[in-house]
Amino acid sequence: MTTTVEGQTTRGMRAGLLAVLARVWLVPIAVAAWELGTRQAGSTYFPPPSQILARMYELWFSGPAAHLFLTDGALGDFLPSLARLFGGWALACVLGIGLGVALGRSRKLSGYIDPLVEFGRAIPPPTLIPLFIILFKMGTQMQVATIVYGVIWPILINTIDGARHVDRVHADTAQAFGLGRAQRLFRIILPAAGPKIFAGVRLSLSLAVILMVVSELVGSTNGIGYQLMFTQQNFDLSGMWGAIVLLGVLGFVLNASFLVVERRVLSWHRRARQTT
Amino acid sequence: MLDVVNLSHTYGEGPNAHQALGGIDLKVAEGEMVCVVGPSGCGKSTLLRSIAGLIRPTEGQIRIRETTVADTPGDLAVVFQDYSRSLFPWMSVGDNVALPLRRRGKDRTARRAAAAEALEEVGLAAASSKFPWELSGGMQQRVAIARALAYRPSLLLMDEPFGSVDAQTREDLEDLVLKVREHHRMTVLLITHDIDESVYVGDRVVVLTRSPARVAGELSVDLPFPRDQIATRELPAFVHLRAEVGRLVRAKKESPPVQV
Amino acid sequence: MIDRRVVVRGAAGAAVLLIAAELAGRSGLIDPVLLPPMSTVLAGAAGLLADPEFLTDLWGTVIVWATGLLTAIVIAVPLGVLLGTLPRAELAARPLVEFMRPIPSVALLPLVTLLIPYDHGVKITVIVYAAVWPVLINTMYGLRDVDPVAKETLRSFGFGRLAVLARVSVPSAAPFVLTGVRLAAATGLIVAISAELVAGGTDGIGAFMIRAGSGYRTDLILAATLWAGILGLLANMLLVRVQRWAFRWHTERTGA
Ligand SMILES: Nc1ncnc2c1ncn2[C@@H]1O[C@H](COP(=O)(O)OP(=O)(O)OP(=O)(O)O)[C@@H](O)[C@H]1O
Ligand SMILES: [Mg+2]
């Protein structure tokens, strides 16, 4: 009895290990190839990953323990970048979802506004940077404005779509039982539109990273994008690659953590679809 | 209680227009249980939607307790034909049942208690914390019924509420509705396409014609209470009424309305 | 058939915005140097069409954008087909994709400008980097989503794997690929203009705007923004048309 159970668990563990291996085996090979290839080539433009990591450590992660090992340089670059990113993104979420629900639920209002939305979202957001620079001067205001303008569209469009297509029987049920405005909004419309809204919000998060970088490259005196420009001008290529890697990690972490939240909030949706 | 006068409804406009209701007159007295039968697609759901104030009929009037229905009346509950779509998949079964009770000004614990009681009545006390999509079709239907019962409406509208449950559950639910109505003195309008069912639960059966629907005729059902699934259905009066309703349903559209 | 009310409302909405912007500019509520009245902007936008300098810039953006998009398609579609049909390869490649995809392509600009001396080449490179991902992901997704019954039907008639790939998998994944291309086109335009703003260069809408900005010509900046918007709108409309036309069967089946 016990031996079979043990046999099964070890077999289960071995299967699990193999599954993980099947996923990640290419990563060490790719990194090794990168290291060897760059060493062989010896090009200044392509420093080996070990050197990039060393430089990243030196630049950002060799600080005191009290600061979570972050250096002053890291704090000076990361904090403003992240503040702009999240500030702009959060503002866009609030505006986009609020306006989206209004437009999705009112045919009349959306009749007036829809063409403007269509045109507004067709304008590539970076084109507004020169205008925002003149309006708000260089700095945080201009960057936040760029991020808000750029990332609001996927949120807005998806919210409109989700709020407009609430199942008719759901809407009828809410009406027949006489639910008030607030309850209809928070208990019916927003949850029903939830999957669509989340898809838009997730898309907007990766857009926000792009726009943060662009706005910092163009007009800023701090932030990760500025660091990218600064290292390039000082021909510190390891530092520049470090900033690129850092942005990749940032995007990856943001997306992954957002997915965790989304799974939580929308678990009903995922599970309901699996069963039907 | 409910007074429907010359109700007509046309969907769409121009060449695509489709007249679903062609002048329906219907009265339901306080505490009465009226069954509406009619062929599929004749406009039964349209009639119910108009009474619930969910669509604005193109012609005619609906009065509930002498006030004309313009928006959704306050004291009314609906069990929709599309029961699976009428439950909210993002809420637990208990929350689904408790949601409308907010309108009754009950606090959280009172709502919980009322929901639990209604679920108990339909035999789903254990399902309260599950999600609707974790239940079978028949169970979902019972949740929808429990939600309407918990609301304690003075007028209960049901659109083919026992459509997709097995025969046994169906009989249990029919008896449940009879019992609850008795207990809480509700007025019920029940739509069905099952002739036996209409005679078994109704005080009165109203038969509609094919689309555009009109009243083809109506019968009052004077079978004794309490009704019993076996004994009542054996009564000669039951068999006779069933045949009468069947005749009305099958009658040609052109034939004039019959009063029995 | 379009409802006439919709058109009237839409026109009214646009008119109200234009008039409000005009009044704000004229009344001095907003400094007209910062935000000129709408009529000036619209006149400027019309004038730009006759301005050979702007047309060269506009053309520069379009060329870079289109080349980048096409290159991305040429790279991403075969790769997507390969990864979509070989689940093991896809599994192994996924962590690399997941790490490389979130790197904003504009972050590569400082590096690429050092590597490539040729200004269009820089822009095309970053556009390709940005545009590859949506096409790749959608192609893979589309191939995984192919109805297995359709595949098995063909297999049962004795067709080989390649024939099944060519006759069933690729055609039924095509609508997804085109959706990816549409996304890539939008991102590509964003990146093209970003690159022009960051790296300057000889031509492009972004370069035009930098020049206009250094002269504080907000009217010209806004006029160019207007044209950039119209460019994006046209491209999207074109792709939607192509998608509708080429894949009528798909929209009919899903009712989308
Ligand atoms: N929203 C709508 N738009 C256009 N036509 C509709 C709409 N809803 C229903 N109809 C049409 O009106 C007629 C009556 O529909 P209704 O749903 O009231 O029928 P029903 O009697 O409830 O049918 P069933 O027994 O199948 O539920 C049908 O012919 C249907 O096609
Ligand atoms: Mg119906």
Whether residue B212 is preceded by a cis peptide bond, meaning omega within 30 degrees of 0, is yes
Q: Domain for residue B186, yes or no? A: yes
Contact B100 A271 (CB under 8 A): no
- Return the CA Rg of chain C: 23
Q: What percent of chain C has pLDDT over 90?
A: 16
Query: How far apart are the two ends of chain C, measured CA to CA in Å?
Result: 18
Domain extent listing, chain A = 2-42, 65-275
Of A65-79, B192-206, C148-162, C209-223, the least confident? C148-162
**Domain-located, residue B23:** no
B19 part of a folded domain:
no
What average pLDDT does chain C have?
A: 82
Q: Tell me which chain A residues have a C-beta less than 8 angstroms from the C-beta of B54.
A: 172, 175-176
A169 C-beta neighbours (distance < 10 Å), count: 17
Q: What is the mean pLDDT of residues C199-207?
A: 83
* Cα separation, A244 vs A240, whole angstroms: 6
Residue B93's pLDDT is what?
93
C99 or A147: which leads in pLDDT = A147
- Judging by beta carbons within 10 Å of its beta carbon (0-12, 13-18, 19+), is residue A223 exposed, middle or buried? buried
Spatial separation of the C-alpha atoms in residues B35 and B191, rounded to whole Å: 6
Of residues A273 and B113, more confidence is placed in B113
Do C208 and C115 share a structural domain? Answer: yes
> Would you state the structure tokens that stand for residue C93, as one six-digit string?
């490649």
Candidate from B8, B13, B19, B44 with most ligand 1 atoms within 8 A of CB, to mutate = B44
Nearest CA in chain A to C98: A252
Residue B138 lies in a domain: yes
**B9 Cα–ligand 2 center, Å:** 15
- Contact: A187, B52; criterion CB under 8 Å: no
| Structural domains in chain C (count) | 2
C31 shares its domain with C113: no
Average pLDDT (A79-107) is 92
Under the phi-then-psi rule, with left for phi > 0, alpha for psi from -120 to 50, and beta for the rest, what region is B65? left
CB contact under 8 A, B77 and A167: no
Q: In terms of pLDDT, which residue wins out, A241 or C18?
A: A241
Tell me the angle at which helices A237-265 and A49-60 cross, rounded to the nearest 10 degrees.
Answer: 80
Contact B54, B223 (CB under 8 A): no
Tens digits of residue pLDDT in C117-159: 888 889 999 999 999 999 998 898 888 877 777 777 777 776 7
Mutation site, A123, A161, A235, interface C, largest C CB count within 10 A:
A123
Q: Which of A165, A166, A177 to mutate to test the interface with B (most CBs of B within 10 A)?
A: A177
Length, in residues, of chain C = 256
CB A198 within 8 A of CB A263: no
Q: What percent of chain A has pLDDT over 70?
A: 95
Question: Per the CB < 8 Å rule, is A268 touching B131?
Answer: yes
Residue C253 has pLDDT above 50, yes or no: no
Select the residue of A115, A124, A248 nearest C102 (Cβ to Cβ): A248
- Taking the CA of residue C245 and the nearest CA in chain A, the distance in Å comes to 22
Largest interatomic CA distance in chain A: 78
CB contact under 8 A, B54 and A167: no
The answer to whether residues C26 and C136 belong to one domain is: no
Nearest CA in chain B to A174: B100
Among protein residues, the one whose CA lies closest to atom 25 of ligand 1: B40
- Is the pLDDT at C1 greater than 50? The verdict is no
Number of domains in chain B: 1
Query: Tokens 């004749």 sit at which residue?
Result: B42
In a shared domain, residues C155 and C232: yes
Give the 3-state secondary structure of chain B.
Answer: CEEEEEEEEEECCHHHCEEEEEEEEEEECCCCEEEEECCCCCCHHHHHHHHCCCCCCCEEEEEECCEECCCCCCCEEEECCCHHHHCCCCCCHHHHHHHHHHHHCCCHHHHHHHHHHHHHHCCCHHHCCCCHHHCCHHHHHHHHHHHHHHCCCCEEEEECCCCCCCHHHHHHHHHHHHHHHHHHCCEEEEEECCHHHHHHHCCEEEEECCCCECEEEEEECCCCCCCCCCHHHHCHHHHHHHHHHHHHHHCCCCCCCEEC
The whole domain housing C56 covers 48-254
Has residue A99 got a pLDDT over 90? yes
For residue B78, tell me if it sits in a domain: yes
Q: Nearest residue CA, atom 14 of ligand 1?
A: B43
d(CA C103, CA A244): 7
pLDDT, one tens digit per residue, over A195-247 is 889 988 988 988 898 889 888 888 778 888 888 888 888 888 888 999 999 88
Residues 192 to 221 of A: which have CB under 8 A from any B CB? Answer: 192, 194
Provide the shortest C-alpha distance from residue B151 to chain A (in Å). 8
pLDDT, residue C254, reads 41
Higher pLDDT, A206 or B71: A206
Q: Place A190 in a pLDDT band, splitting at 50, 70 and 90.
A: very high
What mean pLDDT do residues C91-116 have? 86
Beta-carbon separation of A127 and C102 below 8 A: no
C43 within a domain of the structure (yes/no): no
Q: Which residues line ligand 1 (CB under 6 A)?
A: B 11-12, 18, 20, 38, 40-46, 81, 193, 211
Structural domain includes residue C41: no
Query: Is it the case that residue B126 has pLDDT exceeding 80?
Result: yes
On the question of pLDDT at A2 being above 50, the answer is no
- DSSP code, position C200: -
Edge-first strand order for the sheet with B67-68 is B18-28, B2-11, B59-64, B67-68
For A174, the token pair is 């809410």
Smallest CA-to-CA distance from B103 within B129, B63, B75 is with B75
Q: What's chain B's average pLDDT?
A: 85
Contacts of C43 (CB under 8 A, 6+ apart): none
Residue B64 belongs to some domain of the structure: no
Q: Are B93 and B119 in contact (CB under 8 A)?
A: yes
C173 and C144, same structural domain?
Answer: yes
Rounded alpha-carbon distances, angstroms, from residue C34 to A117, A134, A187, C30: 24, 7, 44, 7
For B149, which residue in chain A has the nearest alpha carbon?
A: A177
Does A126 lie at the interface with C, CB-CB under 8 angstroms? yes
Per-residue pLDDT of A107-155, as tens digits, reads: 888 888 888 888 888 888 888 888 888 888 777 888 899 999 989 999 9
Question: Neighbours of C (≥3 Cβ pairs closer than 8 A)?
Answer: A
Residue C47 is predicted with a pLDDT of 87
**C215 falls within a domain:** yes
Average pLDDT over residues B108-128: 89
For the record, the structure tokens of C235 come out as 């491209």
Q: How far apart are CA A155 and CA C97, in angstroms?
A: 25
One domain for residues C162 and C239: yes
ipTM for the predicted complex comes to 0.79
What does the pLDDT look like over A55-65, one tens digit per residue? Answer: 888 888 887 87
Helix axis angle, A107-122 to A72-105, nearest 10° = 140
**Does any CB of chain B come closer than 8 Å to the CB of residue A175?**
yes
The string of pLDDT tens digits covering residues B201-252 is 999 999 998 878 888 888 888 887 788 888 888 888 888 888 888 888 887 5
Q: Give the per-residue pLDDT at C116.
A: 87
Residue B181 lies in a domain: yes
CATH dotted code for A65-275: 1.10.3720.10
Token couple for B171? 């009989």
Helical packing angle, C205-214 and C218-246, nearest 10°: 160
**pTM for this predicted structure:** 0.80
**Would you call A43 helix, strand, or coil by DSSP?**
coil
Is the dihedral angle over the CA atoms B204, B209, B210, B212 positive or is it negative? negative
Q: What is the DSSP letter of C105?
A: G
Q: Are residues C31 and C115 in the same domain?
A: no
Does position C39 have pLDDT exceeding 50, yes or no?
yes
Nearest to B72 among A178, A269, A275 (CB): A178
- CATH at B217: 3.40.50.300
pLDDT reported for residue B258: 52
Q: Is the pLDDT of residue C250 over 60?
A: no
Decide: B and A in contact? Rule: 3+ Cβ pairs under 8 Å: yes
Range of B160's domain? 28-54+70-259
- Which residues have their alpha-adjacent CB atom under 5 A from ion ligand 2? B 45, 81
Cα angle value C73/C74/C79 (rounded, 5°): 90
